[in-house]
Amino acid sequence: MTAPAWVGRSVPRNEDARLLTGRALFVDDVQLPGMLHAAFLRSDHAHARLVRIDAAAARARAGVRAVYTAEDLGDYWQRAPLLVPPPPVPGLVFNEATQVPLARTKVRHCGEPLAMVVAESRYLAEDALADITVELEALPAVTDLDAALGADAPLIHEELGTNLAAHCIQRKGDWAAARAWADLLIARKFRYDRGASAAIENRGVVAQWDRRAEELTIWDTTQAPIPIRNGLAAMLGLRESQVRVVAPFIGGGFGPKIMMFYPDELLIPWAAMRLGRPVKWIEDRQENFYATTQERLQLHDAELAVTRDGKILGVRDTFLHDTGAYDPYGLTIPINTQCTLLGPYEVPNYESEFTVVFTNRPIVTPVRGAGRQHGVFVMERLLDFAARELGIDVVEIRRRNYIPPDKFPYDHGILFQDSAPLTYDSGNYEPVLREAADRIGFTEFRRTGQATARADGKRLGLGIVSYIEGTGIGPYEGARVTVEPSGSIRVATGVGTQGQGHFTTFAQIVADALGVHPEQVDVSTGDTRSFGWGTGTFASRGIVVAGTACHEAALLVRAKALKLAAEMLEAAEGDLQLADGRISVRGSPGDAVSLAQLAITANPLRGAVKPGTEPGLEATAYFGPARGNAANGVHAMIVEVDPDTMMVKILRYVVVHDAGKVIHPVIVEGQIQGGVAHGIGNCFYEQLVWDDNGQLLNASLMDYLLPTALDVPTVEITHRETPSPLNPLGVKGVGEAGAIPTGAAFAQAVEDALAGTGIEILEIPLSPSRLFALVQEAERTHRR
C-alpha cells in the first residue's frame, strides 16, 4: 500500500453536519407514541434501614400507570453482576457487593432509589413521588475511610462482616533494601478527592417492547451497548437477537456510562414490557449527583528512596480507596493507580499496598483517568520534593530516571488492570520532556522570567510533569466493512461513541485501505443490530481496538475487490492500483472498474458463486491486542497566583504527548484540550463536599463549580509519534491523557508561585480558600 492519503490529516468531521444542524439523535430526542415517563424516589438518608414503604396513594393518583418498589419486582430483583473480576494477584482479597435495582432492606447512599413511578408525564410521575410514604430508620453513616475499618464501625454490608472491599499488595524487587541504601528518603501523605464526571448530557434510557415482533428496543446513553443487550436479554428471559440496544449520539461519556447495570437500565425495559407501552427516563442534573457513578477519593502514604544523584531506588505506597456503597467495577481504579504511579520511570524496587473501603457515598467507578491521576500525583510530587532537597531541577530529575528508548518493551514486573503484565510497548520519553521544557520556556523562566515578574509584584510559578497512560486494552472489538452497490462504504462496529469523532477516524482508516474519500464511508457505531460483537468504549481503546478492526476488515475487502477486478480486467493483481473509488491497471488507466461495479458484480443474480468464495464486497474482522499499550506525555503550565485572594490563573498550558500514530490531529487536540479542562476542574473548581452523615452539600451546578472557557486556556499541543508495535496502525489511545497529570502539574506550579511561604501541596482539589489556609498554616509552622 502507498502512503496513507487520509490517516494523519484533519479532514472535516463526517458527523459535524448532523450535530451542528440538530439532526443527530440523542436519547432524549426519542419520542414514541404512547410513551410513558418514569421518575425515581431516592433516599434522603445515606445509611438507613427501610422499615416501611407504602405506594398506595401514588398508585391511586390520576395519570399514574404503575409504581414499583423492591417487593413488586419479584424474581427480577437481583444484585447486578460484577463487571470486572479482580486480576490474579497472589494474596488478593476481594469482597463483592454489587448494587441492587431498588433498595429492599436498607439504603446505603443518599440518592439510592427506593421506588419507580411510571406515569403519563414526567410531571405527574414526580408529583406522585410525594405520595409515597417511606419510613427509614437512620443508621450512623460511614464516611471516613480510616474509621470505616475500625472494629466499632457500623457495617454497610452486614453479610460481609467488614467495610473492607478489597486488599492487594504488588511488589517488585526489595523495597526494604532500597530504603536502607537510599541517600535521601521523601515521605509524605497525599489526598485526592471526589468529583462528578459532569458530562453535558446526563444519563437516559428509553425502552419499547414490540408485541408483534417480540422485540425489545432500548435507547441508552451507555458506552457499552452490546454488554447491555447481552445482560438484559439474560435477565429478561429473551434471546439476544430479540433485544436491540442503540447508543446514539451521546453528550460525553467519561467512564460512568460504561458502568452497568444502573437501576434505571434494569427497570425501564422491564416496565416497558410489563406495561406494553414505551417508557422513558431522563436523569436530571440533581439526580446525576447521586445516580451516576463518581470518582476519586484516595488517601496515600508514600515514600521515595533516591540516591544523591536523584536516581530512584524505590517507592513504597500504601493507600485507601473509597469505592462508595458498592463495588461493581472491581479493582480497575486502584490497580490503575498502583500501575500508573511507576510512570515513565525505572523503579527497581516497588511495594504498593491498597485497601478498598465501602462508604455511604454513591458508587465509584472510572471517570476519565480512572485512578491514573492519583498515581501520577503521588510520584510526581515525591520527585518534586526530592529535587528540591537535592538541589536538582524538576526537569533534570525526571530525565535522569526515564526508561531509555532501547529498553522497550519494558516490563515493570507487576500486573495491570487487564490482568496482563504491565509491559510498556514502546516510547521515547526524553525528547518529549525536552520539547515541553523548551516550549514553556523552562530555562528562561527559571533564569529571569519568574524573578522579573516577582519584581513587578506578580507571583508566577511553573509546573512540568510526566505521565504514562495505559491505553487500548483488550479483549477485542470487531468491524464489518461493506462496499454497497452505490459505491459508498458502510462500516459497522460495536463500540459506542460519545464525541470521540469515530465517524471520521474510522472512515479515514477505511478510506485509506479502499482508495476512497472518507466522506464516502458511512460509519455505524453503538447499535447492536448493526454489529453485535464487542465490549465498549473505555480505557482509551476505541481507535486502538475498534480502529484496528476497521483497518483489518477493510484490508479483507480490498483483497476481495482486487481479486475480482483482476478477473474482470484480465490483469495480474500486482499490476492493479486502487484510488478514487476505482481499480485500474497501472500504466493503462482506461482499463478500470469502479468499486460500485465490483460490488454489483460480486452479488450476481444468476450464474454461480464459486465454492470457497463469498458474494458481495464485505468482510468482518476482529482485533484483540495481547495487552494494553503505553502512551506518554509531559504537561507544563505557568500560573499566576494572586497573593491576596489566592485565585490562580493559568497563563499558559503546554502538552507534548506521544500517543503513537495520529489519525486526525484536530480530533486528538480536542481530546487533549477537553481532558485538560476536566483536569483543571478537578484541580481547582470541582469537589463533591459531603458531611459526616453522608449528605452531599453541593448537588447543583450553582455550588458545584465547573471551569468555564474563562478558566481554561487554549492548550499548546505538540504531537510526537512513537508507533505502537502492538497493532498494525501503530496507534495508542489519547482519551484520558489530558486529565491525568493536570493535578500534579498544577500543584507544582502553584507551589512554585508561592515559594517562600513554605507551602507544600499534598492534595487535590484546591480552591482559593484552601490555598489561603495552607499558606497560613505553612507560615505558622515556619515561624515556630
Partner 1 sequence: MIVEGVYVFTAPPAVVFEALLDPGVIAKSMPGTKELVAVGPHEYRGKMMVGVGPVTAAEFDLRIVLTELTPPVSFLMSVDGTGRFGFTKGQARVSLEPDGTGTRMNYNADLQVGGKIAAVGQRLLDVVSRAMLRSGLEALGKEVEDRLRGVGGKA
**Cell 515556630, residue?**
784
Q: Where are the alpha helices (DSSP H) in 313-426?
A: 332-340, 372-390, 394-401
| CB 695 to partner 1: min, Å | 5
- Dihedral over alpha carbons 714, 716, 721, 722 (to 10 degrees): -100
C-beta separation of 323 from 259 below 8 A? no
Task: Return the number of the residue (309 or 691) whose C-beta is nearest partner 1.
Answer: 691
Q: Least Å distance between CB 289 and partner 1?
A: 7
Strand 582-585, strand 588-594: pairing: antiparallel
| Cα separation, 713 vs 173, whole angstroms | 42
Residue among 110 and 516 whose Cβ is closer to partner 1:
110
Taking the complex as a whole, how short is the minimal distance between the CB of residue 277 and partner 1, in angstroms?
27
Given the C-alpha cell 484540550, which residue does it identify? 673
Nearer residue to partner 1 within complex by CB, 3 or 702: 702
To the nearest 10°, report the CA torsion of 355, 360, 362, 366. 0
Q: What is the smallest separation between the CB atom of 106 and partner 1, expressed in angstroms?
A: 16
As a whole number of angstroms, the longest Cα–Cα distance in the chain is 96
Nearer to partner 1, 214 or 703 (CB): 703
- CB-wise, 573 or 691, nearer to partner 1? 691
Q: Which residues bind partner 1 (CB under 8 A)?
A: 44-46, 110, 129-130, 138, 286, 289, 689, 691, 693, 695-700, 702-703
For partner 1, the closer CB: 284 or 573: 284
Q: Say if CB 494 and CB 529 are below 8 A apart.
A: no
The phi, psi pair for 419, rounded to 5°, reads: 70, 0
The CB-of-367 to partner 1 minimum distance in angstroms stands at: 20
Give the residue from 24, 47, 10, 22 showing the smallest Cα distance to 526. Answer: 24
213: Cβ contacts below 8 Å, ≥ 6 apart: none
Closest CA to 334 of 545, 192, 452: 192
Sheet holding 629-641, edge to edge: 459-471, 629-641, 648-658, 716-720
Min dist. Cβ of residue 139 to partner 1 (A): 13
CA atoms of 460 and 610, how far apart (whole Å): 74
To partner 1, the closest distance from the beta carbon of 287 in angstroms equals 11
CB of 763 to partner 1, least distance (A): 21
Question: Cβ closer to partner 1: 56 or 130?
Answer: 130
Question: Which residues are within 8 A (CB) of 518 and not within 5 positions of it... i.e. 6 or more apart?
Answer: 6, 11, 14, 504, 507, 508, 510, 511
Nearest Cα neighbor of 288 from 329, 249, 257 is 257
Shortest reach from residue 726's CB to partner 1, in Å: 46
Least distance CB 707 / partner 1 (angstroms): 19
Nearer to partner 1, 439 or 770 (CB): 770
Residue among 45 and 664 whose Cβ is closer to partner 1: 45
C-beta of 43 vs 482, nearer to partner 1: 43
Coil, strand or helix at 583:
strand
Q: Which of 231, 181, 185, 238 is nearest to 214 (CA)?
A: 238
Decide whether 236 or 701 has the Cβ nearer to partner 1: 701
Choice between 138 and 451, CB closer to partner 1: 138
The 8-class DSSP code of residue 726 comes to T
Report the nearest approach of partner 1 to the CB of residue 696 (Å).
5
Q: In terms of CB distance, is 126 or 430 closer to partner 1?
A: 126
What does the H/E/C string look like for 596-645?
HHHHHHCCCCCCCCCCCCCCCEEEEEEECCCCCEEEEEEEEEEEEECCCC
Considering the complex, state which of residue 200 and residue 702 has its C-beta at the smaller distance from partner 1. Answer: 702
CB of 127 or CB of 240, closer to partner 1 = 127
Give me the least distance between CB of 140 and partner 1, in Å please.
11
Q: How far is the CB of 116 from partner 1 (least distance, A)?
A: 17
**Cβ nearer to partner 1, comparing 289 with 503:** 289
As a whole number of angstroms, the distance between CA 199 and CA 74 comes to 34
State the minimum distance, in angstroms, from the CB of residue 85 to partner 1.
35
Minimal distance in Å, beta carbon 286 to partner 1?
7
> Please, which residues have CB within 8 angstroms of residue 45's CB and are 6 or more apart in sequence?
107, 110, 136, 138, 694
DSSP 29: G
523 contact partners, CB below 8 Å, separation of at least 6 = 14, 491, 492, 493, 502, 503, 506, 507
Q: Cell triple for residue 783?
A: 515561624
Distance, in Å, from the CA atom of 618 to the CA atom of 657, rounded to the nearest integer, reads: 36
Minimum distance from residue 697 beta carbon to partner 1 (Å): 4
Enter the C-alpha cell of residue 263: 437501576
- Nearest approach, Cβ of 342 to partner 1 (angstroms)? 39
* Set of cell numbers at residue 782: 515556619
642, 458 contact by CB (below 8 A): no
* Nearest alpha-carbon partner for 87 in 339, 322, 434, 298: 339
Compare residues 115 and 549 and give the one whose CB is closer to partner 1.
Answer: 115
Other CB atoms within 10 Å distance of the CB of residue 448: 10
